[in-house]
Amino acid sequence: MDWFGRASIEFTHAASPLQLPLKGSNGGKTTDLAKLCRDSTPVCQLNPLLFNGHLQTMWTAVAKSAPEIYYRRRIFDADHATYNGTFAVDFTVPPFRVPDPDPTLPQPLPPRTAFFDEASFGSIGSDDSRPMLIVLHGLSGGSYEVYLRHCLAPLLDSDDEPWEIAVVNSRGCAGSSITSGVLFNARATWDIRQVVLWARKTFPNRPLFGLGFSLGANILTNYVGEEGADCPLKAAVVVGNPFDLQVSNKMLQRSFLGASVYETVMGTNMKKLINRHREAIINFTDLDLDRINKIKTLYEFDREVQCPTWGYPTEEAYYRDASSCDLLLDIRIPFLAIQAKDDPIAVEAAVPYGEFKANPYTVLCMTSLGGHLSWFEPGGGRWHAKPVSHFLHNMATKVDLSALPRDLLNHNAKQRQGVTFDPLRRRLQIDLAKE
């Protein structure tokens, strides 16, 4: 039972978690992933006045204070023939004088953000070994989000070695432009894949890590699972992942607040995003703006935008295809998920407990309170920033990342009596020729 905001914490993981070799142990001393996650997770004392997930989640509309983080932006040209267009990546930098808004831009940049000049970005490459974090934000958000900045600040202020951080903004978000008919969706892994490969080439000695929130958590989970043992990241953290989008959506529609508040707010935000890019949508897509402007909820938006854009026959088909729950089975890097049981959006019913128990590379940290990307503490801080930054710090400073095993589960597809389940395909493959 929770008393005065003191949330309970439960960890779910494999019976034999991944063994992590420690630095300076000469192949001897180890810890395991579950223990490192526990050691990275402090007591969860939240604001007792925000005593349930709805209050925690709704308080995000009021509590806007967060560490001030400065960014320089670079527009990347997509290098994939199918997923073409451009997207914006914001890199953390020391504080600078932010120039006045550029009236020629179609949208203003977020606060404390300015573009790189060509010379500065051209010389950004480095042989240093500082840890680097690549971040994905939530639905319709960006690098400016409060929940995100709370997590980045401790890493930027680290006493050991400040981190380098890049936030990949979803296309059209955070003042970025839409330059093709390729928008973003819940399994849009192409942009983060390009940024990770670019970072691997540009900073060859930096250990790379991933962090995702909500929709970005789902995308990051899909990406890490798709890459499997070849993933260039050393570890990843996701926060408030909806995991099974079909379950999450159905649960939202079954409650008054879910259908009337959360679905409506998210749908309205996405409708506003489309209208901010009205000219580009007309030029690059066949979407029906009149129909889009009549929608009220997120699932209606997905029906009018995601389905025609990607060829899904229904929004339910989109949710099943884009869900990241099955891809947990293919993850081969240390992976921590932080969730709240009372999250009204990334609902507990969608959390794949069984998959966390089946994969030794994954650990689930579940708090009894916290809402959606909230976890407000009595003093106004955000509790989730602590386990996120502690886990990443411990992975970067204590673990011998070069010796992490990637072959505990030596094949992605599980075969039993001629039947194969491949998490990437999310379908049971039956060899009909043998019947």
| Residues with a known catalytic role | 214, 343, 372
Q: Which residues, in sequence order, are CB contacts of 362 under 8 Å at separation 6+?
A: 13, 14, 328, 331, 335, 336, 337, 355, 356
- 237 sits in which H/E element: strand 235-239
Instruction: Check: CB of residue 153 under 8 Å from CB of residue 385.
Output: yes
Q: What are phi and psi of 165, to 5 degrees?
A: -135, 140
Rounded to whole angstroms, what are the CA distances from 98 to 26, 111, 114, 118? 48, 8, 7, 17
User: The dihedral of CA 23, 25, 26, 32: what is its sign?
Assistant: negative
Residue with tokens 């192949």: 27
Residue with tokens 């000219």: 279
Q: Which among 332, 131, 315, 314 has a CA at the least distance from the CA of 223?
A: 332
Burial category of 100 from C-beta neighbours within 10 Å (exposed 0-12, middle 13-18, buried 19 and up) = exposed
Q: Which residues, in sequence order, are CB contacts of 375 under 8 Å at separation 6+?
A: 44, 46, 56, 340, 367, 369, 382, 383, 384
Instruction: Check: CB of residue 332 under 8 Å from CB of residue 231.
Output: yes
Residue with tokens 């951080």: 165
